[in-house]
């Protein structure tokens, strides 16, 4: 089983919710579990951290957390290796009233002024990365059009569309899902409706 969760009978306010992720090749999650210390609820999964889709334990955690909870993770890369995805996850958790605590990187904890500052810097870096990527994409598209070989590809794949449907069914807003997947709301609506490049 890729995702495992240690369940509690109720959800009292202000729980410590732990999240552990190891790659499919790394079977040893004990060090991360030990680093988190005592938690009220623990989510673990063995899966790549390349993106946030297809991670059932993380999806369940995002649905479970409530206002006043603290999500405790050993390090930011356990949530995501992408700065953009990491910031989107933190934003989603904060929108639910939950704080995020990184054991190895307390300077990024969202409940401290230093953490707020560091996250602002990361957001600026992510914005610069996105702008650079868009510029390179535009250059590549222009060159492809000159060669007559450009064809627009769908922004979302089938796994991302399935993930979006699951999150919507669980009560997540489409705007939050679009931010998490790094697409526009219009792209998400088009993909869900199966129009254009997403028609079968």
Please check whether residue 58 is in contact with residue 45, taking contact to mean a CB–CB distance below 8 angstroms: yes
The answer to whether 125 and 83 are in contact (CB under 8 A) is yes
Terminal CA-CA length for the chain: 31
Q: Helices marked H in 16-157 — which ranges?
A: 30-36, 56-64, 76-79, 83-95, 113-147
- Would you please indicate which residues are annotated as catalytic (active-site) residues? 23
What are the residues whose beta carbons fall under 8 Å from the beta carbon of 185, sequence distance 6 or more?
174, 175, 178
């Amino acid at each position: 089983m890729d995702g495992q969760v240690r369940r509690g009978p109720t959800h009292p306010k202000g729980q410590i919710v732990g999240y552990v992720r190891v790659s499919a090749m790394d079977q040893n999650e004990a060090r991360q579990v030990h680093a988190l210390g005592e938690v009220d609820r623990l989510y673990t999964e063995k899966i790549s951290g390349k993106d946030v889709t297809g991670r059932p334990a993380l999806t369940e955690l995002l649905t479970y957390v409530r206002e006043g909870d603290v999500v405790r993770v050993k390090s930011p890369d356990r949530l995501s290796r992408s700065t953009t995805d990491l910031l989107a996850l933190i934003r989603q958790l904060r929108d639910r009233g939950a704080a995020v605590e990184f054991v190895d990187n307390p300077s990024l904890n969202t409940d401290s002024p230093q953490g707020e500052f560091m996250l602002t810097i990361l957001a600026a870096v992510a914005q610069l990365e996105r702008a650079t990527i868009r510029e390179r994409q535009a250059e590549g598209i222009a060159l492809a059009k000159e060669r007559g070989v450009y064809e627009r590809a769908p922004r979302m794949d089938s796994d991302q569309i399935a993930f979006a449907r699951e999150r919507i069914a669980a009560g997540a807003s489409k705007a939050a899902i679009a931010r998490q997947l790094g697409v526009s709301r219009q792209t998400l609506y088009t993909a869900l409706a199966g129009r254009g490049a997403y028609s079968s």
